[in-house]
Every structure is written in structure tokens, then in C-alpha cells.
Amino acid sequence: MTRLFNDPAAFADEALEGFTAAHRRWVRPVTGGVVRATATPAGQVAVVIGGGSGHYPAFSGLVGRGLAHGAAVGNVFASPSARQIHSVATAAHAGGGVLLMYGNYAGDVLHFGQAAERLAADGVETRTFAVADDISSAGPQESAKRRGIAGDLPVFKAAAAAAEQGLPLEEVLRVAERAGARTRSFGIAFSGCTLPGADHPLFTVPEARMAVGLGIHGEPGIGEEALPTADEAARLLVDTLLEELPEDVAGPAGQRVAVILNGLGSVKYEELFVVYRKVAALLGDAGVEIVDPEVGELVTSFDMAGISLTLTWLDDRLEELWRAPADTPAYRKGALDAAEPDLDRAPVAAAQDTAVSDAAACGATAVPAASDASRRAAATVLAALDAVARVVDAHADELGRIDAVAGDGDHGIGMRRGSTAAHRAAADAHGLGAGAGTVLTRAADAWADKAGGTSGALWGTILRSLGTALGDRDAPDGARVAEGVTEASAAVRRLGGAEVGDETMVDVLVPFADALAAAAAEGLPLAEAWDRAATTATAAAAGTADLLPRRGRARPHAEKSLGTPDAGAHSLALITRAVHGALLDHH
């Protein structure tokens, strides 16, 4: 378990603060993460990686010459927000464009995609690439749905080494695609991990058993087997990976591979070496030549007792990039020339970067002009967001338990972070005299930033859609609110790609929006219309227990979720009912 922490909600921020203090030779802090301490050479493609905290040395530990130019760092097991990614990428960019790289998880895909759109709007040429190497999370015919685990490292390194050689953005992207297509990973675990402040692990493994095909966010494995010896574990990992070769590799004999034997947190180096001796022997027996193997903790999951094996099948070009030198806090290879100092950066820049608050980044010290009617409506919005934060806090443990049935168990934690931050930002904006629209959009940004992950992206979208519909000029009526909810429903489906029947929050949001629009069209007062729609939402959330998930981290464990409602759908239903109470109180 994680023993040393202060406020669990501040763990990720405090860990990043300590990391940057310890590694100023390599990195400097910026809002949202870190960038290289040395300047990105003018015209060089900036490779910006990122993901949630809890996986060190991924992602911040891989920033430095020969590897990433920057890393956006999210909360524990939650993707960074689009605004954080945009901030890091802007700081790293040096005129050659930006390649955003991350593991293939729904929240990361959403936030990095939004960040790419914002960068493009700024005139920065940007591409994205999601690593999808975990063969246990989807079959070969659905490889695009696979998760990104320890295969992140060789793919990140290939792209970064190509950027270091001065290749243009499109060629760096092609290198990433080539490395990703030739990388496969598979893992096992003997116990789950426990997040800071939690009193139990996200999943457990029975005594004398192991979980097979685990994720790195506390997702359970796809099956269980008897606890193996070290040699038996090595054989399982090697045999499983040799069963699926890249399309252009006819057989293992005569091939060269980059090998990573990765410890996930509690399996330490001597144990890894015992396993690796057999891995090396088995690959040798198959006629495979190992190139610069890595054995150690490279992509972790707090204190999870587990290991994974990654094979990247090399060609001459990928081998050159794999062998290329790198110098980062957690990964070093070969030798580099002396670093060029960043002459344009003032000595106090790092301190100034860390001092930039979320409020200042949003321009939250000033608000647009608003009518008296909209400011009065903002008080109701603030009360509704207070009710949201309170109901989420009261049900956070329940939401985590529901999410842990087939997912990673962090939905309650993320929702608590997001709703608390949203209420705080809304209160600040309301105190400055903001109208209803601005209060909601400030809350949207805060929710997305602090929650991260899929829920952060989607709830940020919901609140922003509502804020846009309400605006700061008029007193919103039931029809205006219903219009905003309808647009939020459409925006969430556009952003996340889910539809009714996929067992997601969309299974509640769509019928809720439809019911609210119908009630408003009948001329019902807002509180009464919302009550009717909230009843519909509660029934829809219960109905998700009969669905199989087709998206998100629960998808590989779809059968396990039968009989349990979707956590995101359930939390949305709770929130709609809580907001109804606030509407009654401010009627």
C-alpha cells in the first residue's frame, strides 16, 4: 500500500513537485507537467508524452534529451486534461510541430485529441499517436482497442530518437506507427495496488494464484492461474507473445527484438533477473536475437505485485533508434554531447511556471459582464454544483466499488476530485459577479483539469455545453436549460463515440435529455420538468446492469459487469436527482 502521503487529493501534485526538485538537471516544471531543462532545438519536432500519475518512471521520468521533450502529468491513474497537455506542448514546441503520444485509454484519447485541436487552432502543427501494445485487452483483429502498457517506452523512444535526428513531423509519426505496429506486451500479477488514502487494493488475487492479462490501472486480469515458479512465469510470457507476431514477421528465427521485462511495483530487481534468465534462454531457443534488453521498473502501478514482458520486433531502422543515446532522470543509454543551455530562459522561469495557478491560467481574476438576471441564475447554478459535490462525496466509495467490478475502481475518486474543484471554481466566479454561463464554464475547466480521465473530459463537456446555452445575459428558462442539456448529450456522443447500449453514461444522458426536452416543450416549470427527467435517468441507470460494456476499461471484462450498473451512468443519475433538490430550494 502507499504509506507516505499527506492529503491523498494532493498526492500527484506533491509527487511532481518533489520530482522536479530532485531532477532540475533534466526537467523544469510548467503548468500541467514538465519539459526538458534544455531548450528544444529550433525546428525540431517536440515529442510530448503523458498520462496519469502512479506509473513512475512513466511519464515524467522519461523527459530528457533522446527521449521526450515534455510530459503532461495527470492525477492518480487519470489522464491529464486537455488544458494541461496544451500547456506542456506549448512550452516544448520550437517550431517543428508537436507529436502527442500516450497509452490507448479513453480518457487520454479524449484529452490529447482536444489538446491537439487547441494546438492546431494556435497554428501549431500537431499529430497524435496512442500506443496499443497489450495483447490481453483485445484480439489481433481489434488491435486498435488494445491498452498501452510497458510498450509505451520503446514506441516513445523510437519517435523521440527520430525527432532528435531532425526528421519532420510526418516522418516522426510514421516511425511511431512502425514501432507501435511491431510492439507486443503481456503481463501477470500476484496482487493489486492500493491508491494513496485507500484502505484496500483495487483488486485482489486469491492465495497461491495469479491474475493473467492485467492492466496498469488496477484493472483485474482476464483470468487466473495457479501461482507459477519464475521459470513457469517466463515461459507463459514468452510463449504468449510468440503466438502473435507482427504481420510482416514470418517467424521468430533470425529476428532481432528489443526486450523489456518490467516490474509493476512490488516485484523487485533480483526477482526480475531470475525471470529474465529464463526469458533470454527461451527467446534464444526460438532463434531470436535480443538487442539492448531492459530489466527493471519502467511502467509501474504503485505497489502492484506483477510483471510484464514487452517485445518490439526490430528492423534496421528501429534498431538504430532503440540503440540511440538518451539522458533522462529514469532512463539513460549511451553518451550525448554536452547539452546546449537554454539562453532564452530566465533563471527564475521554473519558479514562475510553478506559481501559475489554475485561476490565473483561466483568466479567473476577471469575468465577463453579466446581467442581473444571469447573476441571480448563477446563484442557483452554484447551489446545484454544491449539491453535485455533496452527493458525489457521499457516494464516492459506492461508485468505486461499482467501477471495480470490471474496471479500475477509481470512478468515485475522480468524480470527487472533479465535482469539488468545479464547485470551488464556480464559487470563485460567482464571487466575482459572473453570470450563469461563465460560472458553468469555469466549473467545466476545473472539473476537466482536476478529474482528468474520461469522466473529466465528459463532465467538462457537459458543463461547458450548458454554460454556452445559458450565457450571461438572460434569465434561463426551462426551454433554454433543456436546449443546453440536449447539446451536452450530443457533444458527449461526438467526443466519446459512445451510443445508447454501450453501457456508459450515454445510456442515462440521452434519455434524460430527451425527457427534459419533452417536459419543457409541454410548458412545465423547470423544477417539475427536471424531476420527471431525473426519474427517467434513475430507471435508465438501473437498466445498464443488463448491458455488456463495449467501450472503456471495462470492455475486456464485459461478462463480469453483468448485473452491475455502469458507474458513470449511476453517478449521472445520482447527480440529476441532487440537482433537482437544489432547483426546488431556489424555486
> What positions carry a catalytic annotation?
217
Task: Please check whether residue 11 is in contact with residue 76, taking contact to mean a CB–CB distance below 8 angstroms.
Answer: yes
Task: Please check whether residue 459 is in contact with residue 81, taking contact to mean a CB–CB distance below 8 angstroms.
Answer: no
What Å distances lie between residue 323 and 66, 277, 333, 462, CA to CA?
10, 22, 8, 46
Task: Please check whether residue 386 is in contact with residue 545, taking contact to mean a CB–CB distance below 8 angstroms.
Answer: no
Q: What is the CA radius of gyration of the chain?
A: 24
How far is Cα 121 from Cα 100, in angstroms, rounded to an integer?
Answer: 15
Instruction: Check the CA dihedral 490-494-495-496 and report its sign.
Output: positive
What Å distances lie between residue 173 and 153, 302, 578, CA to CA?
15, 31, 46
What Å distances lie between residue 462 and 112, 235, 469, 474, CA to CA?
18, 48, 11, 20
Grid coordinates representing 579 are 440537482
3-class DSSP state of 56 = coil
Beta-carbon contacts of residue 477 (< 8 Å; ≥ 6 apart) = 526
Q: Are strands 256-263 and 289-296 parallel, antiparallel or unpaired?
A: parallel
Task: Please check whether residue 412 is in contact with residue 397, taking contact to mean a CB–CB distance below 8 angstroms.
Answer: yes
The amino acid at residue 515 is A
Q: Are strands 27-30 and 46-53 parallel, antiparallel or unpaired?
A: unpaired
How far is Cα 284 from Cα 451, in angstroms, rounded to an integer?
Answer: 46
DSSP 134: B
Beta-carbon contacts of residue 186 (< 8 Å; ≥ 6 apart) = 134, 135, 136, 213, 237, 240, 241, 308, 309
Bond preceding residue 57 cis, omega within 30 of 0:
yes
Task: Please check whether residue 587 is in contact with residue 527, taking contact to mean a CB–CB distance below 8 angstroms.
Answer: yes
Task: Please check whether residue 328 is in contact with residue 26, taking contact to mean a CB–CB distance below 8 angstroms.
Answer: yes
- Cβ count within 10 A of residue 277: 14
Task: Please check whether residue 230 is in contact with residue 278, taking contact to mean a CB–CB distance below 8 angstroms.
Answer: yes
